[in-house]
């Protein structure tokens, strides 16, 4: 029986029943997600102190960007290896790389070494997500995937609640190095649980075919470089450098993105391309506010660090609630396009509802409530689209689909992070008020969500006899 079965009409799945411990594996996959969430939220809390102690303000932004860019490469490489060799080996390698990165940053006496540690951490952490999707695709039948995906999504909740406070206490009372080193035991425990729970996955006859495919890692490296150039370009104060870096980044990144994704993703062609296009837009829209609401709470409202985190915690909790509700309602009969459009509508309502946070007279409690609506919309949107995307994965191709799902999310994050960061940087360099810069970010986020709302009508499940190109060119 699948972990947390939905109780709905069974979907026929011809794959052999794997000899794994599903319940234990489910726990391990949630732990894997929580591991990355703890690391991300803890390091974000400690990084200002690290930068101050190591005189590394000039590398502060680069340290954040380096993690994300390495993450892009890691998720493509790990997804490819999961298809070629099965998920066990790449999972162990990713955990090992992640731990090495934690130790490297934990013993650093220079910000350059911290940056290198973050690169290694990003590569390892990035690989865990597509392997998680590959395992779900291999182990859970189609009608049980929405439930396990909701549980995995919930792996972000506890870290979002306690990691910032815990990391702050460790940084202030012990030493920021233990923010990194202290996560290493959790990584080893996670590895032990997941690897033991995998049991004996049945031999996959498609692994040999996957090994014959052209590697997509060079494309991922070009995409990462292109995204990095775009981020550097849009945030540069030098007009010539800004234009040249941005143009070079687009020329390098867009073709790489197209080849890494299914055919037609930039046109949101119905089916998997539309799913991935909408995921990119949804992530960009959500992070267009979630990344900058704490900044507004700080600079405009003068809120404490605790209050800044509190304002966006509601969205994280609501996201998990939406994921749980959508997993219970998910079935082959559900109109996926309509439910996804409903998620975009809630996201738009939440984005519009947080606009007043740019006024010092507005209540942060009201912002907490309105932003929670957006989190609910993301929950309704993400689990059904993740489950539907996995339906397009044939045996031996789960890692590729898993990497494409996460690549869509990461590119959305990078897109809004770069554009949003550029407006904040422009405000810092000029007389442009910060409130106006943040307002432009929110309006851009609403635009992304509106485009997603229109394109979501192309979201659909895979026809039972459908054949899909997965971008293995």
pLDDT attached to residue 292? 83
Whether the pLDDT of residue 2 is over 70: the answer is: no
pLDDT attached to residue 235? 76
From CA 87, how far away is CA 95, in angstroms rounded?
12
pLDDT attached to residue 8? 40
What tokens does 202 get?
A: 């049945």
**pLDDT over 70 for what percent of the chain?**
88
b/e per residue, 324-362, with b = 16+ CB within 10 A? bebbeebeeebebbebbbbbbbbbbbbbbbbbebbeeeb
Q: What is the pLDDT of residues 379-391, one digit of tens each?
A: 999 888 888 888 8
pLDDT attached to residue 207? 56
State the pLDDT confidence band at 298, using cuts at 50, 70 and 90: confident
Q: Between the CA of residue 169 and those of 45, 264, 428, what are the distances in Å?
A: 10, 48, 30
Whether the pLDDT of residue 252 is over 90: the answer is: yes
CB-based contacts of 377, cutoff 8 Å, min separation 6: 322, 342, 343, 344, 345, 346, 347, 348, 349, 350
**pLDDT over 90 for what percent of the chain?**
39
pLDDT attached to residue 281? 95
Chain centre distance of CA 235: 22
Q: What is the pLDDT of residues 201-213, one digit of tens each?
A: 655 655 555 555 7
Chain centre distance of CA 123: 13
From CA 27, how far away is CA 197, in angstroms rounded?
9
Mean pLDDT within 370-377: 94
From CA 93, how far away is CA 81, in angstroms rounded?
10
What tokens does 104 get?
A: 């490297």
pLDDT attached to residue 95? 96
b/e per residue, 130-140, with b = 16+ CB within 10 A? bbbbbbbbbbb
**Lowest mean pLDDT segment, chosen from 14-18, 111-115, 297-301:** 14-18
State the pLDDT confidence band at 131, using cuts at 50, 70 and 90: very high
Q: What is the pLDDT of residues 95-111, one digit of tens each?
A: 999 999 999 999 999 98
> What is the chain's mean pLDDT, rounded?
84
From CA 36, how far away is CA 177, in angstroms rounded?
17
Name beta bridge partners: 200. Answer: 19
pLDDT attached to residue 334? 66
- Selected residue with higher pLDDT from 360 and 203: 360
pLDDT attached to residue 3? 38
**Lowest mean pLDDT segment, chosen from 227-231, 307-311, 364-368, 431-435:** 307-311
Q: What is the pLDDT of residues 269-279, one digit of tens each?
A: 999 999 999 99
From CA 447, how far away is CA 433, in angstroms rounded?
21
State the pLDDT confidence band at 422, using cuts at 50, 70 and 90: confident
Which helix (H) or strand (E) is 258 found in, with range? helix 239-260
**Lowest mean pLDDT segment, chosen from 15-24, 218-227, 254-263:** 15-24
């Amino acid at each position: 029986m699948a972990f947390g079965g939905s109780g709905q009409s069974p979907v026929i799945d011809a794959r052999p029943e794997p000899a794994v411990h599903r319940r234990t594996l489910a726990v391990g996959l949630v732990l894997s997600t929580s591991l990355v969430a703890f690391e991300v939220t803890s390091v974000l809390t400690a990084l200002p102190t690290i930068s101050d102690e190591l005189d590394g303000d000039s590398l502060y932004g680069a340290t954040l960007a380096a993690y994300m860019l390495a993450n892009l490469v890691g998720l493509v490489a790990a997804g490819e290896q999961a298809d070629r060799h099965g998920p066990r080996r790449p999972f162990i390698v990713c955990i090992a790389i992640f731990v090495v990165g934690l130790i490297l940053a934990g013993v650093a006496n220079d910000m350059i070494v911290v940056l290198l540690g973050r690169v290694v951490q990003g590569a390892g952490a990035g690989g865990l997500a597509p392997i998680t999707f590959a395992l779900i695709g291999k182990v859970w039948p189609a009608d049980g995937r929405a439930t396990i995906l909701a549980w995995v999504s919930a792996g972000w909740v506890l870290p979002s609640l306690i990691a910032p406070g815990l990391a702050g206490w460790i940084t202030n009372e012990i030493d920021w190095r233990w923010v990194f080193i202290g996560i290493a035991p959790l990584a080893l425990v996670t590895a032990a649980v997941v690897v033991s729970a995998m049991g004996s996955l049945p031999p996959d006859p498609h692994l040999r075919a996957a090994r014959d495919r052209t590697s997509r890692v060079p494309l991922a490296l070009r995409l990462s470089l292109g995204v990095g150039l775009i981020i550097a370009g849009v945030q540069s104060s030098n007009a010539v450098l800004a234009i040249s870096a941005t143009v070079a980044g687009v020329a390098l990144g867009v073709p790489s993105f197209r080849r890494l994704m299914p055919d037609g993703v930039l046109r949101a062609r119905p089916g998997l391309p539309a799913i991935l296009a909408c995921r990119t837009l949804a992530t960009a829209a959500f992070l267009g506010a979630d990344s900058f609401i704490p900044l507004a709470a700080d600079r405009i409202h003068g809120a404490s660090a605790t209050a800044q985190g509190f304002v966006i915690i509601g969205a994280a909790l609501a996201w998990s609630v939406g994921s749980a509700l959508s997993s219970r309602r998910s079935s082959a009969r559900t109109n996926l396009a309509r439910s996804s459009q409903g998620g975009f509508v809630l996201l738009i309502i939440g984005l519009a509802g947080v606009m007043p946070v740019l006024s010092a007279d507005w209540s942060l409690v009201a912002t907490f409530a309105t932003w929670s609506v957006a989190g609910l919309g993301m929950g309704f949107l993400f689990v059904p689209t993740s489950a539907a995307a996995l339906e397009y994965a044939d045996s031996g191709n789960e890692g590729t689909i898993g990497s494409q799902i996460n690549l869509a999310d990461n590119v959305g994050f990078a897109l809004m992070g770069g554009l949003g960061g550029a407006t904040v940087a422009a405000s810092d360099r000029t007389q442009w008020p910060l409130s106006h810069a943040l307002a432009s970010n929110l309006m851009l986020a609403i635009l992304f969500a509106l485009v997603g709302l229109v394109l979501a009508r192309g979201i659909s499940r895979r026809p039972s006899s459908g054949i899909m190109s997965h971008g293995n060119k």
